[in-house]
Structure 1
Amino acid sequence: MTQRRFIFLLVPALALAACGRAEPGDISQESPRPSRADAPAAVPGSAPAAAGTEAGAAVEAGESAAAAPGAQPRQGQPQTPGAAGAASQSAAPSAADAANADEILRRVEQAYSGMRSLEADFVQHLSVPLLGSSQRSEGKLYQRRPDRFLMRFTDPAGDVIVADGRHFWMYQPSADRTQVLRSAMGQGGMQVDLQQEFLSNPTQRYVATLVGTETVDDRRADVLTLVPRGRSQYRLIRIWVNRNDSLVRRFEMTEENETVRRLEFRNMRRNVDLPDSLFQFTPPAGTRVFDQ
Protein backbone atom coordinates (compact mmCIF):
# COMPACT_ATOMS: atom_id res chain seq x y z
CA MET A 1 0.00 0.00 0.00
CA THR A 2 1.27 3.47 -0.85
CA GLN A 3 2.36 5.25 2.30
CA ARG A 4 0.58 8.59 2.76
CA ARG A 5 1.36 11.27 5.30
CA PHE A 6 -1.29 13.48 6.82
CA ILE A 7 -1.23 16.96 8.28
CA PHE A 8 -3.97 17.29 10.89
CA LEU A 9 -4.81 20.17 12.94
CA LEU A 10 -7.19 23.63 12.51
CA VAL A 11 -6.09 24.61 12.89
CA PRO A 12 -7.78 24.79 14.96
CA ALA A 13 -5.89 26.03 11.17
CA LEU A 14 -5.78 24.10 11.66
CA ALA A 15 -9.05 24.61 8.88
CA LEU A 16 -6.53 25.89 6.43
CA ALA A 17 -7.89 26.28 2.88
CA ALA A 18 -5.15 26.35 0.27
CA CYS A 19 -5.69 28.10 -3.04
CA GLY A 20 -2.37 29.91 -3.40
CA ARG A 21 -0.19 30.15 -6.52
CA ALA A 22 3.52 30.21 -7.09
CA GLU A 23 4.75 33.78 -7.15
CA PRO A 24 6.28 35.00 -10.45
CA GLY A 25 9.97 35.71 -10.22
CA ASP A 26 10.58 33.31 -7.33
CA ILE A 27 11.06 30.22 -9.46
CA SER A 28 14.63 29.51 -10.39
CA GLN A 29 14.06 26.16 -12.06
CA GLU A 30 11.53 23.42 -12.50
CA SER A 31 11.95 20.55 -10.09
CA PRO A 32 11.26 16.81 -10.39
CA ARG A 33 7.78 15.87 -9.33
CA PRO A 34 7.81 14.13 -5.90
CA SER A 35 6.38 10.64 -5.91
CA ARG A 36 2.82 10.01 -4.76
CA ALA A 37 4.22 8.21 -1.74
CA ASP A 38 5.56 11.56 -0.55
CA ALA A 39 2.44 13.60 -1.25
CA PRO A 40 0.87 15.29 1.79
CA ALA A 41 -2.84 14.98 2.40
CA ALA A 42 -5.30 17.60 3.60
CA VAL A 43 -5.63 19.25 6.96
CA PRO A 44 -9.03 20.18 8.36
CA GLY A 45 -10.45 22.59 5.86
CA SER A 46 -7.95 21.40 3.23
CA ALA A 47 -4.21 22.03 3.36
CA PRO A 48 -1.85 22.83 0.48
CA ALA A 49 -1.78 20.27 -2.30
CA ALA A 50 1.21 17.94 -2.56
CA ALA A 51 4.42 19.37 -3.88
CA GLY A 52 4.78 18.51 -7.53
CA THR A 53 1.08 18.84 -8.37
CA GLU A 54 0.28 20.82 -11.49
CA ALA A 55 0.12 24.06 -9.47
CA GLY A 56 3.46 23.39 -7.76
CA ALA A 57 6.74 25.01 -8.76
CA ALA A 58 10.16 24.68 -7.19
CA VAL A 59 12.42 27.36 -5.81
CA GLU A 60 16.03 26.39 -5.17
CA ALA A 61 16.97 26.92 -1.51
CA GLY A 62 19.32 23.96 -1.59
CA GLU A 63 18.70 20.45 -2.89
CA SER A 64 15.77 17.94 -3.40
CA ALA A 65 12.22 17.32 -2.12
CA ALA A 66 9.77 15.10 -0.16
CA ALA A 67 6.73 15.31 2.24
CA ALA A 68 4.54 17.58 4.42
CA PRO A 69 4.15 18.21 8.18
CA GLY A 70 2.35 15.68 10.35
CA ALA A 71 3.09 12.71 12.54
CA GLN A 72 4.27 9.33 11.32
CA PRO A 73 1.27 7.01 10.82
CA ARG A 74 0.99 3.94 12.98
CA GLN A 75 -0.52 1.17 10.93
CA GLY A 76 -3.04 -1.23 12.39
CA GLN A 77 -6.50 -0.99 13.83
CA PRO A 78 -7.22 2.71 14.43
CA GLN A 79 -8.41 3.99 17.77
CA THR A 80 -11.12 6.48 16.96
CA PRO A 81 -10.53 9.69 18.91
CA GLY A 82 -14.25 10.09 19.45
CA ALA A 83 -14.41 6.91 21.51
CA ALA A 84 -13.47 8.80 24.65
CA GLY A 85 -16.67 10.79 24.35
CA ALA A 86 -18.63 7.72 25.34
CA ALA A 87 -17.77 8.56 28.93
CA SER A 88 -19.76 11.82 28.73
CA GLN A 89 -22.65 12.28 31.09
CA SER A 90 -25.39 12.44 28.49
CA ALA A 91 -29.07 11.85 27.92
CA ALA A 92 -31.49 12.06 25.02
CA PRO A 93 -31.32 15.59 23.56
CA SER A 94 -34.23 17.86 24.43
CA ALA A 95 -35.43 21.33 23.48
CA ALA A 96 -33.77 22.58 26.66
CA ASP A 97 -30.48 21.00 25.55
CA ALA A 98 -30.68 22.83 22.22
CA ALA A 99 -31.42 26.13 23.95
CA ASN A 100 -28.56 25.59 26.38
CA ALA A 101 -26.24 24.67 23.50
CA ASP A 102 -27.06 27.89 21.64
CA GLU A 103 -26.44 29.92 24.77
CA ILE A 104 -23.07 28.19 25.29
CA LEU A 105 -22.14 28.93 21.66
CA ARG A 106 -23.00 32.60 22.12
CA ARG A 107 -20.68 32.72 25.14
CA VAL A 108 -17.96 30.99 23.14
CA GLU A 109 -18.30 33.48 20.29
CA GLN A 110 -18.11 36.37 22.76
CA ALA A 111 -15.03 34.91 24.48
CA TYR A 112 -13.15 34.55 21.19
CA SER A 113 -14.21 37.96 19.89
CA GLY A 114 -12.04 39.54 22.59
CA MET A 115 -9.04 37.31 21.96
CA ARG A 116 -6.11 38.84 20.06
CA SER A 117 -3.55 36.07 20.69
CA LEU A 118 -3.30 32.53 22.02
CA GLU A 119 -0.54 30.27 23.31
CA ALA A 120 -1.18 26.62 24.19
CA ASP A 121 0.21 23.10 24.23
CA PHE A 122 -1.56 20.85 21.76
CA VAL A 123 -2.08 17.16 21.10
CA GLN A 124 -3.48 16.01 17.76
CA HIS A 125 -5.01 12.67 16.83
CA LEU A 126 -6.11 11.37 13.46
CA SER A 127 -7.99 8.15 12.81
CA VAL A 128 -8.46 6.97 9.21
CA PRO A 129 -10.63 3.82 9.12
CA LEU A 130 -10.31 3.47 5.34
CA LEU A 131 -6.54 3.07 5.71
CA GLY A 132 -6.67 1.27 9.05
CA SER A 133 -4.28 3.83 10.50
CA SER A 134 -4.01 6.32 13.34
CA GLN A 135 -1.55 9.10 14.12
CA ARG A 136 -0.62 11.27 17.07
CA SER A 137 1.48 14.40 17.32
CA GLU A 138 2.03 17.13 19.88
CA GLY A 139 3.77 20.43 20.41
CA LYS A 140 3.23 24.12 21.02
CA LEU A 141 0.74 26.39 19.25
CA TYR A 142 0.92 30.18 18.92
CA GLN A 143 -1.67 32.34 17.19
CA ARG A 144 -1.83 36.11 16.78
CA ARG A 145 -4.78 37.53 14.94
CA PRO A 146 -5.37 38.13 12.17
CA ASP A 147 -2.64 36.35 10.22
CA ARG A 148 0.12 34.87 12.40
CA PHE A 149 0.19 31.20 13.29
CA LEU A 150 2.79 28.69 14.46
CA MET A 151 2.63 24.99 15.31
CA ARG A 152 6.01 23.82 16.59
CA PHE A 153 6.04 20.04 16.97
CA THR A 154 7.91 18.26 19.73
CA ASP A 155 6.66 14.89 18.45
CA PRO A 156 7.75 14.53 15.72
CA ALA A 157 10.51 16.87 16.85
CA GLY A 158 11.49 19.63 14.45
CA ASP A 159 8.35 19.66 12.31
CA VAL A 160 6.80 23.10 11.93
CA ILE A 161 3.80 24.88 10.40
CA VAL A 162 4.10 28.68 10.17
CA ALA A 163 2.01 31.57 8.84
CA ASP A 164 4.07 34.77 8.74
CA GLY A 165 1.42 37.14 7.37
CA ARG A 166 2.46 36.66 3.74
CA HIS A 167 3.04 32.93 3.35
CA PHE A 168 2.03 29.66 4.93
CA TRP A 169 5.01 27.32 5.40
CA MET A 170 5.19 23.60 6.16
CA TYR A 171 8.44 21.79 6.92
CA GLN A 172 8.72 18.17 8.04
CA PRO A 173 12.32 17.10 8.65
CA SER A 174 11.05 13.98 10.41
CA ALA A 175 9.99 12.71 6.97
CA ASP A 176 12.44 14.45 4.63
CA ARG A 177 14.82 17.29 5.39
CA THR A 178 14.96 18.55 1.82
CA GLN A 179 11.46 19.92 1.12
CA VAL A 180 9.51 22.97 2.26
CA LEU A 181 5.93 23.72 1.12
CA ARG A 182 4.79 27.32 0.78
CA SER A 183 1.38 28.84 -0.03
CA ALA A 184 0.31 32.45 -0.40
CA MET A 185 -1.95 34.03 2.20
CA GLY A 186 -4.58 36.70 1.68
CA GLN A 187 -7.59 36.72 -0.60
CA GLY A 188 -8.11 33.30 -2.07
CA GLY A 189 -5.16 32.02 -0.05
CA MET A 190 -4.49 30.51 3.33
CA GLN A 191 -6.59 31.24 6.40
CA VAL A 192 -5.11 30.55 9.83
CA ASP A 193 -7.85 31.36 12.33
CA LEU A 194 -9.28 28.05 13.54
CA GLN A 195 -11.77 29.70 15.88
CA GLN A 196 -13.05 31.90 13.06
CA GLU A 197 -13.45 28.84 10.87
CA PHE A 198 -15.66 26.94 13.30
CA LEU A 199 -17.00 29.50 15.76
CA SER A 200 -18.01 32.48 13.62
CA ASN A 201 -21.83 32.86 13.69
CA PRO A 202 -22.11 29.33 15.12
CA THR A 203 -25.84 29.35 15.88
CA GLN A 204 -26.59 30.27 12.25
CA ARG A 205 -24.18 27.71 10.81
CA TYR A 206 -24.82 24.68 13.00
CA VAL A 207 -27.56 22.77 14.74
CA ALA A 208 -26.06 22.49 18.22
CA THR A 209 -26.88 19.99 20.97
CA LEU A 210 -25.55 19.80 24.50
CA VAL A 211 -24.72 16.09 25.03
CA GLY A 212 -22.91 16.01 28.36
CA THR A 213 -19.93 17.14 30.40
CA GLU A 214 -16.35 15.91 30.64
CA THR A 215 -13.10 16.92 32.27
CA VAL A 216 -10.50 18.36 29.88
CA ASP A 217 -7.23 19.91 31.05
CA ASP A 218 -8.39 19.31 34.64
CA ARG A 219 -11.46 21.49 34.12
CA ARG A 220 -15.13 20.73 33.58
CA ALA A 221 -16.26 21.22 30.01
CA ASP A 222 -19.64 21.11 28.30
CA VAL A 223 -19.65 18.79 25.28
CA LEU A 224 -21.58 20.03 22.25
CA THR A 225 -22.27 18.39 18.91
CA LEU A 226 -22.49 20.69 15.88
CA VAL A 227 -24.22 19.50 12.71
CA PRO A 228 -23.63 21.82 9.73
CA ARG A 229 -26.79 23.41 8.35
CA GLY A 230 -25.26 23.72 4.90
CA ARG A 231 -22.60 22.01 2.81
CA SER A 232 -19.47 21.05 4.70
CA GLN A 233 -16.63 18.57 4.49
CA TYR A 234 -17.57 17.52 8.03
CA ARG A 235 -20.74 15.68 8.89
CA LEU A 236 -20.28 16.27 12.62
CA ILE A 237 -18.16 18.51 14.84
CA ARG A 238 -17.81 18.15 18.59
CA ILE A 239 -16.41 20.80 20.88
CA TRP A 240 -15.52 20.75 24.58
CA VAL A 241 -16.22 24.19 26.10
CA ASN A 242 -14.59 25.16 29.37
CA ARG A 243 -17.24 26.24 31.85
CA ASN A 244 -15.10 28.94 33.44
CA ASP A 245 -13.87 30.94 30.44
CA SER A 246 -15.99 29.57 27.54
CA LEU A 247 -12.88 28.66 25.53
CA VAL A 248 -12.88 25.47 23.47
CA ARG A 249 -10.37 23.02 24.93
CA ARG A 250 -10.94 20.31 22.32
CA PHE A 251 -12.17 20.14 18.72
CA GLU A 252 -13.18 16.88 17.02
CA MET A 253 -14.21 16.76 13.36
CA THR A 254 -15.77 13.71 11.70
CA GLU A 255 -15.74 13.62 7.91
CA GLU A 256 -18.18 11.84 5.63
CA ASN A 257 -15.73 8.95 5.21
CA GLU A 258 -15.52 8.54 9.03
CA THR A 259 -12.04 10.04 9.28
CA VAL A 260 -11.84 11.66 12.72
CA ARG A 261 -9.51 14.53 13.57
CA ARG A 262 -9.07 15.75 17.13
CA LEU A 263 -7.12 18.72 18.44
CA GLU A 264 -6.82 19.30 22.19
CA PHE A 265 -5.37 22.35 23.93
CA ARG A 266 -3.76 22.48 27.35
CA ASN A 267 -2.20 25.32 29.35
CA MET A 268 -4.00 27.92 27.26
CA ARG A 269 -2.94 31.56 27.66
CA ARG A 270 -4.89 34.39 26.03
CA ASN A 271 -3.75 37.84 24.90
CA VAL A 272 -0.05 37.25 25.45
CA ASP A 273 2.56 39.33 23.62
CA LEU A 274 3.80 37.36 20.60
CA PRO A 275 6.48 39.17 18.55
CA ASP A 276 6.77 39.05 14.77
CA SER A 277 10.08 37.23 15.13
CA LEU A 278 8.25 34.20 16.56
CA PHE A 279 6.47 33.69 13.24
CA GLN A 280 9.46 34.12 10.93
CA PHE A 281 10.60 31.10 8.96
CA THR A 282 13.72 30.74 6.85
CA PRO A 283 14.02 27.55 4.80
CA PRO A 284 17.05 25.62 6.07
CA ALA A 285 20.09 25.25 3.87
CA GLY A 286 19.81 22.20 1.64
CA THR A 287 16.03 22.48 1.14
CA ARG A 288 13.89 23.29 -1.88
CA VAL A 289 10.73 25.37 -1.62
CA PHE A 290 7.62 24.26 -3.51
CA ASP A 291 5.07 27.01 -4.15
CA GLN A 292 1.47 25.84 -4.18
Structure 2
Amino acid sequence: MRKLATLGVLLWSVSAVALADARAELQQKLAAFERFSADFNQQVFDEQGEPMQRADGTMQLARPDRFRWHTVSPDESLIVSNGTDVWMYDPFVEQVSIVPLEEAVLNTPFLLISGSDGQRWQQYGVAKNGADYVVTSKNPAELIKEFSLRFDSASRIERFTVIESGGQRSEFTLSNINTAPATGADSFQFTPPAGVMIDDQR
Protein backbone atom coordinates (compact mmCIF):
# COMPACT_ATOMS: atom_id res chain seq x y z
CA MET A 1 0.00 0.00 0.00
CA ARG A 2 2.85 2.37 0.87
CA LYS A 3 4.47 1.71 -2.53
CA LEU A 4 1.20 2.55 -4.29
CA ALA A 5 0.85 5.76 -2.30
CA THR A 6 4.45 6.73 -3.10
CA LEU A 7 3.88 6.01 -6.79
CA GLY A 8 0.72 8.15 -6.74
CA VAL A 9 2.59 11.08 -5.20
CA LEU A 10 5.39 10.69 -7.74
CA LEU A 11 2.97 10.64 -10.69
CA TRP A 12 1.13 13.68 -9.33
CA SER A 13 4.43 15.54 -8.95
CA VAL A 14 5.51 14.72 -12.50
CA SER A 15 2.09 15.79 -13.82
CA ALA A 16 2.19 19.08 -11.89
CA VAL A 17 5.68 19.87 -13.20
CA ALA A 18 4.60 19.09 -16.79
CA LEU A 19 1.59 21.42 -16.48
CA ALA A 20 3.74 24.20 -15.02
CA ASP A 21 6.30 23.75 -17.80
CA ALA A 22 3.59 23.87 -20.49
CA ARG A 23 2.17 27.08 -19.01
CA ALA A 24 5.61 28.71 -18.80
CA GLU A 25 6.41 27.63 -22.35
CA LEU A 26 3.14 29.06 -23.68
CA GLN A 27 3.61 32.34 -21.82
CA GLN A 28 7.14 32.61 -23.22
CA LYS A 29 5.87 32.13 -26.78
CA LEU A 30 3.16 34.74 -26.31
CA ALA A 31 5.57 37.22 -24.72
CA ALA A 32 7.85 37.00 -27.78
CA PHE A 33 5.73 39.56 -29.63
CA GLU A 34 4.43 42.90 -28.35
CA ARG A 35 1.96 43.36 -31.20
CA PHE A 36 0.09 40.98 -33.47
CA SER A 37 -2.49 41.17 -36.26
CA ALA A 38 -4.12 38.64 -38.56
CA ASP A 39 -7.21 37.84 -40.58
CA PHE A 40 -9.29 34.97 -39.24
CA ASN A 41 -11.70 32.40 -40.57
CA GLN A 42 -14.03 30.86 -38.01
CA GLN A 43 -15.92 27.57 -38.33
CA VAL A 44 -18.57 26.86 -35.67
CA PHE A 45 -19.72 23.32 -34.80
CA ASP A 46 -22.65 22.30 -32.60
CA GLU A 47 -22.52 19.89 -29.64
CA GLN A 48 -22.71 16.89 -32.02
CA GLY A 49 -19.83 18.17 -34.15
CA GLU A 50 -22.04 19.27 -37.04
CA PRO A 51 -20.98 22.51 -38.81
CA MET A 52 -23.29 25.45 -38.03
CA GLN A 53 -21.82 28.59 -39.59
CA ARG A 54 -18.69 30.34 -40.80
CA ALA A 55 -17.40 33.83 -40.08
CA ASP A 56 -14.52 36.04 -41.19
CA GLY A 57 -12.81 39.04 -39.68
CA THR A 58 -9.63 40.62 -38.38
CA MET A 59 -7.82 40.72 -35.04
CA GLN A 60 -5.19 43.01 -33.53
CA LEU A 61 -3.48 43.01 -30.16
CA ALA A 62 -0.85 45.02 -28.32
CA ARG A 63 0.53 44.44 -24.84
CA PRO A 64 -0.57 44.92 -22.22
CA ASP A 65 -4.24 43.91 -22.54
CA ARG A 66 -5.18 45.84 -25.70
CA PHE A 67 -7.24 43.88 -28.17
CA ARG A 68 -9.44 44.43 -31.22
CA TRP A 69 -11.59 41.61 -32.63
CA HIS A 70 -13.69 42.60 -35.66
CA THR A 71 -16.06 40.08 -37.24
CA VAL A 72 -17.11 41.36 -40.67
CA SER A 73 -19.22 38.50 -42.06
CA PRO A 74 -21.80 37.09 -42.09
CA ASP A 75 -22.77 39.58 -39.34
CA GLU A 76 -20.64 42.42 -38.05
CA SER A 77 -19.55 42.66 -34.42
CA LEU A 78 -16.67 44.28 -32.60
CA ILE A 79 -14.81 43.65 -29.33
CA VAL A 80 -12.29 46.30 -28.25
CA SER A 81 -10.12 46.40 -25.12
CA ASN A 82 -8.12 49.50 -24.17
CA GLY A 83 -6.34 47.67 -21.36
CA THR A 84 -8.85 48.65 -18.69
CA ASP A 85 -12.34 48.24 -20.16
CA VAL A 86 -13.85 46.14 -22.94
CA TRP A 87 -16.48 47.30 -25.44
CA MET A 88 -18.68 44.69 -27.16
CA TYR A 89 -20.55 46.28 -30.04
CA ASP A 90 -23.37 44.73 -32.08
CA PRO A 91 -24.33 47.05 -34.96
CA PHE A 92 -27.39 44.97 -35.86
CA VAL A 93 -29.14 45.66 -32.56
CA GLU A 94 -27.37 49.03 -32.19
CA GLN A 95 -26.07 48.26 -28.72
CA VAL A 96 -22.68 48.32 -27.01
CA SER A 97 -21.89 46.70 -23.66
CA ILE A 98 -18.96 47.95 -21.59
CA VAL A 99 -17.41 45.71 -18.92
CA PRO A 100 -14.20 45.81 -16.83
CA LEU A 101 -11.33 43.88 -18.39
CA GLU A 102 -11.08 41.29 -15.60
CA GLU A 103 -14.75 40.43 -15.98
CA ALA A 104 -14.47 40.17 -19.77
CA VAL A 105 -11.58 37.68 -19.52
CA LEU A 106 -14.01 35.16 -18.01
CA ASN A 107 -16.04 35.03 -21.22
CA THR A 108 -13.42 36.10 -23.75
CA PRO A 109 -10.21 34.24 -22.84
CA PHE A 110 -8.55 35.51 -26.04
CA LEU A 111 -7.66 38.47 -23.83
CA LEU A 112 -5.18 36.19 -22.06
CA ILE A 113 -3.15 36.23 -25.28
CA SER A 114 -2.59 39.98 -25.02
CA GLY A 115 -2.12 40.04 -21.25
CA SER A 116 1.11 40.25 -19.30
CA ASP A 117 -0.30 39.49 -15.84
CA GLY A 118 1.22 36.22 -14.67
CA GLN A 119 -1.23 36.04 -11.77
CA ARG A 120 -4.14 35.84 -14.21
CA TRP A 121 -2.66 32.68 -15.71
CA GLN A 122 -2.75 31.00 -12.29
CA GLN A 123 -6.50 30.62 -12.81
CA TYR A 124 -5.90 28.33 -15.79
CA GLY A 125 -4.33 24.96 -16.41
CA VAL A 126 -2.14 24.51 -19.49
CA ALA A 127 -1.22 21.17 -21.05
CA LYS A 128 0.65 20.21 -24.21
CA ASN A 129 -1.26 17.98 -26.63
CA GLY A 130 0.94 17.34 -29.64
CA ALA A 131 1.52 20.72 -31.28
CA ASP A 132 -1.32 22.36 -29.32
CA TYR A 133 -1.29 24.17 -26.00
CA VAL A 134 -4.61 23.40 -24.29
CA VAL A 135 -5.84 25.98 -21.77
CA THR A 136 -8.59 25.07 -19.30
CA SER A 137 -10.19 27.30 -16.70
CA LYS A 138 -10.27 26.38 -13.02
CA ASN A 139 -13.51 28.37 -12.70
CA PRO A 140 -16.56 26.22 -13.58
CA ALA A 141 -18.67 29.38 -14.05
CA GLU A 142 -16.73 30.46 -17.13
CA LEU A 143 -18.50 30.38 -20.48
CA ILE A 144 -15.40 28.97 -22.20
CA LYS A 145 -14.52 25.46 -21.04
CA GLU A 146 -11.31 25.11 -23.02
CA PHE A 147 -9.28 26.77 -25.72
CA SER A 148 -6.16 25.64 -27.52
CA LEU A 149 -3.48 27.42 -29.54
CA ARG A 150 -1.10 26.22 -32.23
CA PHE A 151 1.98 28.07 -33.48
CA ASP A 152 3.65 27.96 -36.89
CA SER A 153 7.37 27.36 -37.55
CA ALA A 154 8.05 31.05 -36.85
CA SER A 155 6.36 30.78 -33.41
CA ARG A 156 3.37 32.84 -34.54
CA ILE A 157 -0.18 31.86 -33.59
CA GLU A 158 -1.72 30.21 -36.65
CA ARG A 159 -4.76 28.44 -35.24
CA PHE A 160 -6.88 28.19 -32.11
CA THR A 161 -9.95 26.30 -31.01
CA VAL A 162 -12.55 27.30 -28.43
CA ILE A 163 -14.92 24.87 -26.68
CA GLU A 164 -17.82 26.40 -24.76
CA SER A 165 -19.25 24.90 -21.58
CA GLY A 166 -22.33 23.74 -23.55
CA GLY A 167 -20.19 21.80 -26.01
CA GLN A 168 -20.23 24.17 -29.00
CA ARG A 169 -16.82 24.39 -30.71
CA SER A 170 -15.26 27.15 -32.81
CA GLU A 171 -12.12 26.65 -34.88
CA PHE A 172 -10.15 29.72 -36.01
CA THR A 173 -7.56 29.67 -38.79
CA LEU A 174 -5.34 32.74 -39.14
CA SER A 175 -3.80 34.26 -42.27
CA ASN A 176 -1.88 37.42 -43.19
CA ILE A 177 -0.12 37.15 -39.83
CA ASN A 178 1.99 40.14 -38.74
CA THR A 179 3.95 40.35 -35.48
CA ALA A 180 4.94 43.99 -36.04
CA PRO A 181 1.83 45.70 -37.42
CA ALA A 182 1.43 49.46 -37.56
CA THR A 183 -1.41 50.32 -35.17
CA GLY A 184 -2.96 53.75 -34.84
CA ALA A 185 -3.63 55.51 -31.56
CA ASP A 186 -7.35 54.79 -31.92
CA SER A 187 -7.02 51.09 -32.77
CA PHE A 188 -7.85 50.10 -29.19
CA GLN A 189 -10.43 52.76 -28.43
CA PHE A 190 -14.13 52.71 -29.20
CA THR A 191 -16.54 55.62 -29.49
CA PRO A 192 -20.17 54.49 -29.71
CA PRO A 193 -21.98 55.84 -32.79
CA ALA A 194 -24.78 58.33 -32.20
CA GLY A 195 -28.04 56.68 -31.20
CA VAL A 196 -26.50 53.43 -30.01
CA MET A 197 -27.83 52.00 -26.74
CA ILE A 198 -25.06 51.81 -24.13
CA ASP A 199 -25.07 49.11 -21.46
CA ASP A 200 -22.32 50.28 -19.10
CA GLN A 201 -21.55 47.53 -16.54
CA ARG A 202 -18.44 49.10 -15.04
Q: What band does the TM-score fall into relative to the shorter chain? A: 0.5 to 0.7
1:111·1:245 contact (CA, 8 Å) conserved in 2? no
Query: 1:105 offset after TM fit, Å?
Result: 7.0
The structure carrying a bigger helix percent of its residues is 2
For residues 129 and 20 of structure 2, the distance between their equivalents in structure 1, rounded to whole angstroms, comes to 8
Amino acid at match of 2:69: M
Q: How is 1:141-152 mapped onto 2 (pairs within 5 angstroms)? A: 141-152=59-70
For residues 153 and 236 of structure 1, the distance between their equivalents in structure 2, rounded to whole angstroms, comes to 21
Report the CA distance shift for 1:271/1:167 in structure 2 as closer, same or farther (over 3 A). Answer: same
1:129·1:259 contact (CA, 8 Å) conserved in 2? yes
- Could you say which structure has the greater relative contact order, defined with CA pairs below 8 angstroms and 6 or more residues apart? 1
Question: Which one of 265, 279, 282 corresponds to residue 188 of structure 2?
Answer: 279
Q: How is 1:239-250 mapped onto 2 (pairs within 5 angstroms)? A: 239-242=149-152, 244-250=153-159
Post-superposition Cα deviations, 1:100-132, rounded to whole Å, max 9, x if no partner, equal: x998876543232121111111122322338x8
Counterpart for residue 5 of structure 2: none
For residues 122 and 227 of structure 1, the distance between their equivalents in structure 2, rounded to whole angstroms, comes to 20
Counterpart for residue 182 of structure 1: 98
1:168·1:183 contact (CA, 8 Å) conserved in 2? yes
Q: 2:109 aligned with 1:195, yes or no?
A: no
Q: How is 1:43-122 mapped onto 2 (pairs within 5 angstroms)? A: 108-122=26-40
Post-superposition Cα deviations, 1:145-190, rounded to whole Å, max 9, x if no partner, equal: 11221122221464321112342112222x32x32211133xx443
For residues 141 and 227 of structure 1, the distance between their equivalents in structure 2, rounded to whole angstroms, comes to 20
For residues 235 and 184 of structure 1, the distance between their equivalents in structure 2, rounded to whole angstroms, comes to 21
- The number of equivalent residue pairs is 173
The structure carrying a bigger strand percent of its residues is 2
User: How well do the aligned residues superpose, as a CA RMSD in angstroms?
Assistant: 3.5
Secondary structure in 1 matching 2:113: helix
1:180·1:288 contact (CA, 8 Å) conserved in 2? yes
Report the CA distance shift for 1:164/1:231 in structure 2 as closer, same or farther (over 3 A). Answer: closer
Secondary structure in 1 matching 2:190: coil
For residues 257 and 157 of structure 1, the distance between their equivalents in structure 2, rounded to whole angstroms, comes to 22
For residues 261 and 145 of structure 1, the distance between their equivalents in structure 2, rounded to whole angstroms, comes to 25
**Unaligned ranges ≥5, structure 2:** 1-18
Counterpart for residue 205 of structure 1: 125
1:208·1:227 contact (CA, 8 Å) conserved in 2? no
For residues 113 and 133 of structure 1, the distance between their equivalents in structure 2, rounded to whole angstroms, comes to 33
Amino acid at match of 2:156: L
Q: Pick which of 136-145 and 254-263 moved more.
A: 254-263
Q: 2:44 aligned with 1:135, yes or no?
A: no
Secondary structure in 1 matching 2:186: helix
Percent of paired sites with the same residue: 23
For residues 125 and 116 of structure 1, the distance between their equivalents in structure 2, rounded to whole angstroms, comes to 27
Query: 1:257 offset after TM fit, Å?
Result: 3.4
Q: TM-score, normalised by structure 1?
A: 0.48
Q: TM-score, normalised by structure 2?
A: 0.66
Report the CA distance shift for 1:165/1:239 in structure 2 as closer, same or farther (over 3 A). Answer: closer
**Unaligned ranges ≥5, structure 1:** 1-100, 211-221
